[in-house]
Structure 1
């Protein structure tokens, strides 16, 4: 287990806008990357900060800085029906290029709860990166339970997620 996160229009904005359109078109036609029952389906949990994924934390920072870093309301991207905040333009560009790599599993819901067949908020301060994937948990106590059998809980969560994602 590894633990870590023309005409006045700038070229960067045009590229980001084009990437967003391609991403939206691709997810619509491929069923959220064509992964069927994977952890990349369903809505993104946005209950901590209304409409904002990962409670406003930068999902790329978990991977690059090894800790949760608050994102800026001025540096955002739209993905899977939620607004994602980033600490830097570079992190936003990294996310837009490969959102499925940086978005948390199970839409950011608590991974342990999903393994139990339930939905609960994922707290951005209770996280793990396992095999290159970000997982959030509800609390310190729940994260301790999660860490006792991460592979087993991931297997259960993968089995439970399609039904939970279809219902949320």
Structure 2
């Protein structure tokens, strides 16, 4: 290989390595990915939680229209949707903080995929890690919901019990 090509390749590789591992790029790669660690807590992959209740497919929210609820950023497609959420976050928030409902009932904490969901007859939003988890949940909703609800209650009690204030 000629020297002039080596002079071009080495700096290019160094820059590519720096960009690949820079914190800003790593953070962008992990936001909104359902089953990977998230460096910024963006709820539901950035989808507007109120859009799940319109009967249509969920809609992506806008980063400049948001509300922070229970330590997570929720993005909204409109100010009206944000205001509806702020007025009643219990109605629009996914159950189990967006964890896969079926996995949560089995004592496994996996984030739910915002494109795999179910709104039940009581108007509760459940997310699932994949279609298989959703299908399993729907075959025995009563039992799995009871297990997940008990686990969620215990988790919330432990968070409150060991909460540290400064």
Q: TM-score, normalised by structure 1?
A: 0.67
The structure 1 segments of at least 4 consecutive aligned residues displaced by more than 2 Å after TM superposition are: 45-50, 162-167
In structure 1, what is the equivalent of residue 80 of structure 2?
A: 90
Q: What CA deviation, in whole Å up to 9, does each residue of 1:18-75 have, x standing for no partner?
A: xxxxxxxxxxxxxxxxxxxxxxxxxxx9956731111100000000243221111111
Q: Does residue 1:60 correspond to 2:50, yes or no?
A: yes
- Cα distance in 1 between the residues matched to 2:66 and 2:75: 5
Which of 125, 138, 141 lines up with 1:134 in the alignment?
125
Q: Does residue 1:148 correspond to 2:165, yes or no?
A: no
Q: What CA deviation, in whole Å up to 9, does each residue of 1:112-161 have, x standing for no partner?
A: 01111221111101100111100001001111111111122111111112
Larger relative contact order (C-alpha < 8 A, sep ≥ 6)? 1
Higher helix share: 2
Mind listing any 5+ residue stretches in structure 1 that lack a counterpart?
Answer: 1-44
**SS of the counterpart of 2:84?**
helix
In structure 1, what is the equivalent of residue 148 of structure 2?
A: 157
Mind listing any 5+ residue stretches in structure 2 that lack a counterpart?
Answer: 1-34, 160-166
- Cα distance in 2 between the residues matched to 1:58 and 1:47: 21
Task: Count how many residue pairs are aligned between Structure 1 and Structure 2.
Answer: 123
CA offset at residue 163 of structure 1? 3.1
In structure 2, what is the equivalent of residue 15 of structure 1?
A: none
Which has the larger Rg?
A: 2
Q: TM-score, normalised by structure 2?
A: 0.68
Asked if structure 2 preserves the Cα contact closer than 8 Å seen for 1:129 and 1:135, the reply is yes
Which of 70, 73, 76 lines up with 1:80 in the alignment?
70
Which of 86, 94, 97 lines up with 1:104 in the alignment?
94
